[in-house]
Each structure stands twice: as C-alpha cells, then as structure tokens.
Amino acid sequence: MLLQGKKLLITGVLTPQSIAYGVAELALEQGADILLTGFGRARSLTERSAKRLKAGTEVLELDVANPAHFPALTESLRQRWGRVDGVLHGIAFAPEDALGGNFLNTPWESVQTAFRVSTFSLKELAVAALPLMTQGGSIVTLDFDNRVAWPIYDWMGVCKAGLEATVRYLARDLGPKGIRVNAVAAGPLSTVAAKGIPGFKSLERGWGRQAPLGWDARNSHEAVARTACALLSDWLPSTTGELVHVDGGYHAIGAPPVDTSQDEKEESGQPPPTPSAG
C-alpha cells in the first residue's frame, strides 16, 4: 500500500467534512499509522472524528498559539513512535474582522492572530517534527492558491500567500535532511471553516464554470486527499517547494467560458434583446 508503515501526524481534523479528515481516512486505508491533534473545546470534535476513523486513534494536545505546546508535542511523538515520517498541516484561522471585504480596516491584532495560526504554525510544526524525521519524510500543508487577490479572502489571503513562501523556505532548509515540503492548493470545499468565510457560496457556485474538469465543492474532498497522500508517500521523492493544484484546473484558465453569440449579433447590427420586465 502507498503508505504502509508510515507514521503520520495529522492536524486540522474537526468533523468528517474536514479536508484533513479525508486525508487521515485515506492514509489509514493505505497502511499508515496516524496521530491527530486538537485543543480546547474543539478537541471533543476531533476525538469524536478519531473514533470514526479508527478505534484507539489518539488525539494529542496542540494549540499552535501556545509556544510551549510544540516541545511537548515532540516529546509525545518520541514516546509513542520514536520517529515521524510525515506531517499534514491543516490549520488555519482568521478573526471575523480580517475577512469579508474589511481589508483596509482590519486591526493589527487580528492580522497577527491570523498569521500566527495560519502561517507561522507551519514553521513551528516542522521544527517540532524535525528531531524525529531522522529518515527524511514529507510535510504537506493545505492551501488555497493566493498568487492573486480574491474578493472575499482579505487577510487570510495574505496569510496563505505567506504560507506558500514558507513552504519554499522550509523546502530550502529541510531538503538537505531528506524532508520534502509541499502545499496542496484545493478549490473551494464545503467544510466547517468555509462556512465562516463571507461570500464563500458565491465563489463555490462560480468555480465549476471556469474549471475545465468541473468542480463539486461537496464531493471533491477525495481528490484532495489522494494528492496529499501521494505527497506524503515515497512516490514523489524529488518534489519539494511545490504548490500542487487540485482545483479542476481553475488556476490555469483566465476567465470562465464566454457566450460569443451576443458579440456576433452586435457586430451584425442586430439590436440586443430587450430585458424582460418580469
């Protein structure tokens, strides 16, 4: 199997709709041993999901905003496994005032929170796992491509752009140790996190019109999970610092398909149709 015997730490699992849950589920099917992380009140959701994945799956405490949790995580992993082969970083959060068209008014405190949780945590997680990745391995983060500005993403978009840069710098520094670092840029998926993004439904509806392969925000989780598991496996040994798109091809197309019939009518001198009053 693709991940037979691999020891994988998976963050970001809340409910079965979480992208990280799909990765964890497929990783188990492919022979991996997994540990999850959670903290605070949301940890009960992670523990419930862990039971659905596999009886006895442990959930380790990790609040990425608490620096003391990272060395404690290293020690917990050392005691349980002694090594780590792969890490999935599926953590992101931005306060409400950092999203939804409030870019110019967002205070630094909210930006700082978003960056620490969504971006800096990848570096911290990599450093925590590093002492146990003595045989090399793979670190994968879940991303939403932010090489362009989006109408609703605001400071989370800035944080994701920073996440992509962090992937490249980690790939630079960890490559000599045999550790690959990559990002999976998924299209919009229906998750608990997505519900907190103003205007997400509008983005979701329009995505499939531009993506040449089409896109289903409710049923594309498996495609993302397969890509993440491939990157966590040994099948892509020379791929690092990469942004791998799983978005139906949306990123490669400049605009959705256009209807040229109206242009032809205007060029021929025919008046455009009168809008219906109804």
Show which residues are catalytic.
Answer: 153, 160
CA distances from 185 to 65, 66, 143, 169 (A): 24, 27, 5, 17
- Among candidate residues 80, 76, 82, 41, the one with its CA nearest the CA of residue 60: 76
Rg (the chain; Cα; Å): 21
In 161-237, the DSSP E strands lie at 179-186
Half-sphere exposure of 231 (CA within 13 A, CB side): 30
Half-sphere exposure of 247 (CA within 13 A, CB side): 26
Buried (b) or exposed (e) across 146-177, using 16+ Cβ within 10 A?
beeeeeebbbbbbbbbbbbebbeebbeebeee
